[in-house]
A and B are shown apart, each in its own frame.
Chain A
């Protein structure tokens, strides 16, 4: 079965420190992987995606993600966190030719000043 796991309900980081939000997936085939961010009472905003090629993907607002096929992981990273990065982050997966996007449960990021 297709699934996405975000093992941390919450991640706390001090402003200026690097941040990592973890994501693993189970797959049969080649996945397309996505990260989205959600601010309170808003829809999800697309941050970045992995299709193929370079394992390090760069996205919006200074975020990047590293695809690791052997570990079936797609962790979100940022070298220096901002207080404004505090939000709910979702990892998602879709399969080649598929119509459905499967989301993880979400990880709440708190960046403390």
Chain B
């Protein structure tokens, strides 16, 4: 079966510090990968998605970036965090080639920028 791991679960970082959140998927190959941000326990904002190694599509201009160095690894980064970067970050995957397949989410990382 497939599993998705996301870490860390919580993170408190000062303004201006760097960020690296990691997500890995097991049990499948060439998944579509996604980073979402959820603010105040409500709607999800799509940040980045990837259809393959090294292929990143950005949805929202901001000081975050994403990378996919391996097939089942997706990393969210920032060089300098802003207060507005606080939120709940969710990684997700779905089967490639099946538009009707649902997203499968990790348990999220709660980021607080102080």
A interface vs B, CB < 8 Å?
32, 34, 36, 41-46, 49, 51, 88, 90, 92, 94-106
Chain B interface residue count, Cβ-Cβ cutoff 8 angstroms = 25
Residue from the set A36, A101, A106 with the largest chain B CB neighbour count within 10 Å: A101
The answer to whether residues A98 and B99 also contact, given A44-B90, A106-B42 and a CB cut-off of 8 A, is: yes
Measured in the bound complex, the distance between the Cα atoms of B92 and A12 in whole Å is 30
Task: Choose among B43, B49, B103, B107 the residue that contacts A42 (Cβ–Cβ < 8 A).
Answer: B107
The answer to whether residues A104 and B43 also contact, given A41-B108, A99-B32 and a CB cut-off of 8 A, is: yes
Name the residue on A nearest B46 (C-beta).
Answer: A100
Residue from the set B57, B99, B104, B107 with the largest chain A CB neighbour count within 10 Å: B99
Contact yes or no, B105 A49, CB < 8 A: no
Write the B69-81 contact mask toward A (1 if CB under 8 angstroms, else 0).
Answer: 0000000000000
Q: Shortest 4 CB-CB distances between A and B: which pairs?
A: A43-B105, A46-B102, A105-B43, A103-B44
